[in-house]
Structure 1
């Protein structure tokens, strides 16, 4: 999900600013709210996800 977020914002910022460095920095900065929300809801998310690993035969 962060990859899709990053690429989407990269294209959006490139269309507005036409500067690759600025677009890259802004798209990386746009990940801060994403991870902040994940961090704020970490206790609720901890109870909702379970992962199981199955052996490969």
Structure 2
């Protein structure tokens, strides 16, 4: 039996409008413009976890 290794590199791009829309749906009191870069990354990770593979 042979060993098989598969590497998969995937790039996801979220536009600012997508981030804003997702943030708005979260209904938080914090304005979108006040988010830090780290918070943008967390938000993008949330979107990724809640999206389907076909999106």
Q: Please identify the structure whose Cα radius of gyration is greater.
A: 1
TM-score of the aligned structures, taking structure 2 as reference length: 0.36
If each structure's helix is expressed as a fraction of its own residues, which one has the higher value?
1
TM-score of the aligned structures, taking structure 1 as reference length: 0.35
Higher RCO (CA 8 Å, separation ≥ 6 residues)? 2
